Amino acid sequence: MVQQERPFDLLNRVLGQHVLIRLKGGTQIRGKLTSFDIHMNLVLVEAEELDGGEAKAKIGTMLLRGGNILYVSPV
């Protein structure tokens, strides 16, 4: 029997690594995931906003509200 991966399994696996996040409205953020909670609120460091895959603005440390996140992908 194959056990399926759950959403928090992925977040635990990529904790401390860089991720790509797409927000409602189309904004893309790349940064290192440092923590998350049960609401999928994420804390990133070294965060930057992307435009066409290229860094548009360096943000630094940020908190992303889980309700605004469309997807999280390991980079």
3: pLDDT strictly greater than 90: no
- Taking only the tens place, the pLDDT of each residue in 9-61 is 999 999 999 999 999 999 999 999 999 999 999 999 999 999 998 999 999 99
Q: Check: pTM over 0.85? Answer yes or no.
A: yes
CATH: 2.60.120.10, 3.30.450.40, 3.55.40.20, 2.30.30.100. Which one for 7-74? 2.30.30.100
Where along the chain do its domains lie? 7-74
Q: Give me the DSSP letters along 12-67.
A: HHHTTSEEEEEETTS-EEEEEEEEE-TT--EEEEEEEEEETTEEEEEEEEEEE-GG
pLDDT at 6: 87
